[in-house]
């Protein structure tokens, strides 16, 4: 038989063990949630990188088309043909602006980048695109 004092001690130890096990369960659940969040974030980063890669490929294709049209402008062509080539280049510029805007660049910066052939836009210390006025 156990004495009342031993029973109380056993209950206290049992309570501590149960509290420890509950703490471990909570730590495991939190660890699993953190791991799941990490996986979700990595997945989101991969998705964004894939999307940016696609935008880059589209922009490269547009620029390649514009280069071809610019080369054709240098050749001996009629005035109407040259006007048509310039119009096609302007349409490709509009496509470039649309792609840049869709990829997250502010519309005004995208327009200025294409129209003025500015260097690539830079980001501030918070990762935001700087405006051309700063």
| Chain mean pLDDT for the chain | 84
The model's confidence at residue 57, banded by pLDDT at 50, 70 and 90, is very high
Structure confidence at residue 134 (pLDDT)? 45
The pLDDT of residue 90? 92
Distances (CA, A) of 6 to 10, 18, 19, 49, 56: 6, 18, 20, 63, 74
Q: Give percent of the chain with pLDDT exceeding 90.
A: 31
């Amino acid at each position: 038989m156990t004495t009342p004092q031993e029973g109380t001690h056993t209950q206290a130890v049992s309570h501590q063990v149960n509290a420890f096990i509950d703490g471990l369960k909570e730590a495991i659940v939190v660890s699993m949630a953190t791991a799941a969040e990490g996986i979700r974030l990595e997945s989101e980063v991969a998705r964004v990188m894939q999307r940016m890669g696609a935008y880059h490929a589209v922009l490269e294709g547009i620029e390649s088309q514009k280069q071809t049209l610019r080369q054709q402008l240098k050749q001996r062509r009629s005035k109407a043909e040259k006007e048509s080539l310039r119009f096609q280049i302007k349409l490709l510029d509009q496509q470039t602006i649309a792609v840049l805007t869709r990829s997250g660049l502010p519309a005004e910066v995208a327009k200025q980048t294409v129209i003025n052939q500015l260097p690539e836009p830079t980001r501030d210390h918070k990762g935001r695109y700087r405006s051309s006025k700063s």
